[in-house]
Amino acid sequence: MTRSISILGATGSVGTSTLDLIRRAPDDWRIVALTANCNVAELAALAKEFRAEIAVVADESCLDDLRAALDGSGIEAAGGKRALCEAAARPVDITVAAIVGCAGLGPVMAAIEQGGTIALANKEALVSAGEVMTAAVAKHGATLLPVDSEHNAIFQCLEGGRIEDVRWITLTASGGPLRAVEDLSAVTPEQAVAHPNWDMGAKISVDSATMFNKGLELIEAHHLFPVGLDKIRIVVHPQSVIHSMVEYRDGSTLAQLGPSDMRVPIASCLAWPQRMDTPCEPLDLPTIGELSFFQPDEQRFPATRLAREAAEAGGAAPAVLNAANEVAVAAFLDRKIPFSRIPLLVERVLSEGNLPDAPRSLDEVLMVDDASRKRATEMLELA
Ligand code: NDP
């Protein structure tokens, strides 16, 4: 049976991994919308290859180029934030939400309002919108499937028991490329994005290096799996073989293992509640040899502490943390600030003491996001 799908952020790491799976069984899928920010050449090539109904660039200044690239193909071209949300609202069986950053929030909410199934990679959207997003999911009868490998692992482990019986959820963290690097102030963007286990986009790679990725994932897990924040802990596991674990009250711990290949959790979402073939390397445990585990070092990598504090504070705090982190990561990638300033900037923005009220709607979340970006940018310029 053919299923319809839209991929938001089709040109990125998660987007292209999703399309790689679809490419292996093209007759099973009808592609509705593919979107990008401004990567016209790749978006147009993908839209033509997969015969998408519509291709959208979020950056409206790229629309003329997209139109030219799609001329004669019969594929609709659109541009701008509103067009992105309209494309995301086209009814489909499954939407893969793989835009990076809070920029993906509007389109994700538009997809949720259609009541369909959303495979969510875009963790910043859930971190920022929190209760606003989970309430919309409940209101519109949508289904949220986690693509993030850790949350996908937990989702799978929770099929083995009842959520009321969970004692602990353990998020595993690789520790990133800088776990053993002494002088964090001298780290370059090239070093920070060179993840030892995963091949990902630049922003999440830097987040992995600072451990903000795990902090965002803690907040993400808090919204996806309502067991209470105090029951979600983080363990550093450098091999990234165990993607996360759930311990039940009888002492049984269920873990999900797999290769460090995002096509595994993406496939789990695409086929859910069934399974599908993937081309991923099978797990070869004798070759891996040993699995190791450590407590996170929050002195050197304070991001998980900051995220936990923001999650405990609730309200607008996670959106403020996320926005400040996005500004700090972009500034680091632009070589405007040293790596070690990323958590300092986030902490300063969070600790100003005049946090906005808890957002109650998408517009209010976007206002908090915008104001926090402006504040973080001002602070960057002050120093
Ligand atoms: P990439 O940077 O590789 O891709 C991002 C995608 O979003 C691209 O299609 C990009 O378009 C588009 N995009 C960027 N900015 C905007 C914008 N302002 N408006 C609309 N679209 C935009 O990111 P990843 O694939 O690595 O990550 C995507 C999301 O998935 C992130 O939230 C990340 O945390 C999460 N995730 C990623 C994993 C991974 O392995 N990569 C693993 C788990 C979660 P363009 O090409 O034009 O710039």
**Model confidence over 325-377: pLDDT tens digits?**
999 999 999 999 999 999 999 999 999 877 888 999 999 999 999 999 999 99
Among protein residues, the one whose CA lies closest to atom 21 of ligand 1: 37
CA–centroid distance, 205 to ligand 1, in Å, is 11
CA–centroid distance, 286 to ligand 1, in Å, is 34
* 132-158 confidence digits (pLDDT tens): 999 999 999 999 999 999 999 999 999
Percent above pLDDT 90 for the chain: 95
Q: Parallel, antiparallel, or unpaired for β 242-248 and 232-236?
A: unpaired
Atom number, ligand 1, closest to the C-alpha of residue 216: 34
For the chain, the residue count is 383
Among protein residues, the one whose CA lies closest to atom 31 of ligand 1: 100
Atom number, ligand 1, closest to the C-alpha of residue 121: 30
* 89-116 confidence digits (pLDDT tens): 999 999 999 999 999 999 999 999 999 9
Q: Kindly tell me if the per-residue pLDDT of 324 is higher than 90.
A: yes
**What residues are in contact with ligand 1 under a 6 Å CB criterion?**
9-15, 36-39, 58, 98-100, 103, 121-124, 148, 198, 200-201, 203-204, 262
Contact 236, 295 (CB under 8 A): yes
Atom number, ligand 1, closest to the C-alpha of residue 107: 20
Provide the pLDDT for residue 76: 98
> What b/e readout covers 341-365, taking b as 16+ CB neighbours within 10 angstroms?
bbbebbbbbbeeeebeebbeebebb
What does each C-alpha distance from 61 to 48, 334, 360 come to in angstroms? 21, 22, 32
Q: What DSSP state is assigned to residue 229?
A: G
Provide the pLDDT for residue 92: 98
| pTM for the model | 0.98
Nearest by Cα to 96 from 163, 26, 14, 171:
14
Q: What is the DSSP string of 34-85?
A: EEESS-HHHHHHHHHHTT-SEEEESSGGGHHHHHHHHTTTT-EEEESHHHHH
CA–centroid distance, 164 to ligand 1, in Å, is 34
Provide the pLDDT for residue 195: 86
Contact 9, 103 (CB under 8 A): no
Contact 167, 247 (CB under 8 A): yes
Could you tell which of 11, 14, 61 is best to mutate to test the pocket of ligand 1, judged by most ligand atoms within 8 Å of the CB? 14
Provide the pLDDT for residue 273: 97
Q: Please give the average per-residue pLDDT across 246-251, as a whole number.
A: 98
3-state secondary structure of 94: strand
* 261-295 confidence digits (pLDDT tens): 999 999 999 999 999 999 999 999 999 999 999 99
Could you tell which of 6, 8, 13 is best to mutate to test the pocket of ligand 1, judged by most ligand atoms within 8 Å of the CB? 13
Contact 63, 71 (CB under 8 A): no
Atom number, ligand 1, closest to the C-alpha of residue 203: 2
Tokens of 334: 């632009």
Among protein residues, the one whose CA lies closest to atom 41 of ligand 1: 200
CA–centroid distance, 9 to ligand 1, in Å, is 6
Among protein residues, the one whose CA lies closest to atom 32 of ligand 1: 122
Q: What is the identity of the amino acid at 45?
A: A
Q: Kindly tell me if the per-residue pLDDT of 381 is higher than 90.
A: no
CA–centroid distance, 36 to ligand 1, in Å, is 9
CA–centroid distance, 103 to ligand 1, in Å, is 10
Contacts of 174 (CB under 8 A, 6+ apart): 195, 196, 197, 198, 208, 236, 237, 238, 239, 240
Q: Kindly tell me if the per-residue pLDDT of 383 is higher than 90.
A: no
Provide the pLDDT for residue 143: 98
CA–centroid distance, 132 to ligand 1, in Å, is 22
Percent above pLDDT 70 for the chain: 99
3-state secondary structure of 131: helix
Q: What is the identity of the amino acid at 76?
A: E
Provide the pLDDT for residue 354: 78
Among protein residues, the one whose CA lies closest to atom 15 of ligand 1: 37
Q: Please give the average per-residue pLDDT across 236-244, as a whole number.
A: 97
Provide the pLDDT for residue 58: 98
Q: How many helices (H) and strands (E) does the chain have?
A: 16, 11
Atom number, ligand 1, closest to the C-alpha of residue 39: 47
Burial class (CB in 10 A: 0-12, 13-18, 19+), 334: exposed
Contact 56, 85 (CB under 8 A): no
